[in-house]
Amino acid sequence: MRALVKTQAGPGLELRDVPEPQPGPADVKIRVLRAGLCGTDLHLEQWDDWAASTVAPPMTIGHEFYGEVVEVGADVSGVLVGQRASGEGHIVCGTCRNCRAGRRHLCIHTRGIGVNRDGAFADFVVIPASNVWVQPPELDPDLAAVFDPLGNATHTALSFPMAGEDVVITGAGPIGVMATALARHVGARHVVVTDVSGYRLELAKNAGADLVVDASASTLAEAMRSLGMKEGFDVGLEMSGVPSAVEDMLTNMNHGGRVAMLGLPKDRFSVDWGRVITHMITIKGIYGREMYDTWYAMSSMLGSSALLRERIASVITHRFPADRWQEAFAAARSGQCGKVVMDWS
């Protein structure tokens, strides 16, 4: 079968023929139809310090996908051949304290599909049946392929109640834009999105933002004045990993404001902890998806709203056949894109 493989330590990937993976008794084999490109995949292609310390080549990469179930293990129930499915990319141990307590997203032994074991940039992928998320057959394949990042957005956006609240989102990458659509869907009063990319700010505006802010030319304080806001933001979603964006957000949070942080910074940076303490700001770190409450939430919301489906799908701006993977990666690296999806059918 075809697979996009990190063949050795160092920059680059290779599309090559590899043996088809075979499912074990508790596994499911899926024929990949669509796969989404993630920042993690760019790190693996470029082979930065994180990739070098995490991945042991050779490794088929990719963890955002949608496809057709073609084989199930002897011990599998609840997943049937012929069903369409996405997959949760984090495989947990099932025996640590958090797993046994039902907090699987906090597993201390998590292994990543396409990072610690062969992934989904291939004609077929094998994952544990417990990681399979069966999709309704009428769901658009491209949309189903981005359930992993949509799950990140949903986990972040639903961390705190939003109905009637003033929300600021720093970072208009694909996950930030998805979070914009979700904030609007669940009833936020004002949704303000900041970034320095005009292209991505336009995506956020189309996804339902009331106001988009070019952080290189304006501030959140000015945004608040233009909206007639008398107090600070109630909820902040940090999607950028940029220290100046975090600083501007914390400066403009209301007393008692709540901040969910998903964006990963490249380096450590200082925080005005005096403001956090005296303004009684709650900060929550977010990683991945809650297994599997987040999956239920995003499936239910998408199933109930054509407008939300349209807004989430609008984040997908580029589509390439798998054999043009170099173009797909170039588009994702350019920043002049939303979500990039590859067609493996």
40, 60, 170, 180: which is the annotated catalytic residue?
40
CA-based nearest residue to 141, from 66, 88, 62: 66
| CA-CA-CA-CA torsion sign (317, 320, 322, 325) | negative
- Beta bridge pairs of residue 64: 36
DSSP secondary structure letters along 25-88: TTEEEEEEEEEE--HHHHHHHHT-HHHHHH--SSEE---EEEEEEEEE-TT--S--TT-EEEE-
Question: For residues 66 and 323, what is the distance between their CA atoms, to the nearest angstrom?
Answer: 17
- Are 86 and 148 in contact by the 8 Å Cβ rule? The answer is yes
Pairing type for strands 233-238 and 211-214 reads unpaired
Angle at alpha carbon of residue 72, lines to 67 and 77, rounded to 5°: 110
- 238 in Cβ contact with 260 (< 8 Å): yes
CA 88 from centroid of its chain's CA atoms: 11
Active-site residue 43, yes or no? yes
Q: Mark whether 219 is an active-site residue.
A: no
Per-residue tokens: 342: 């590859």
Set 7, 43, 180, 219: catalytic member: 43
The residues carrying an active-site annotation are 40, 43
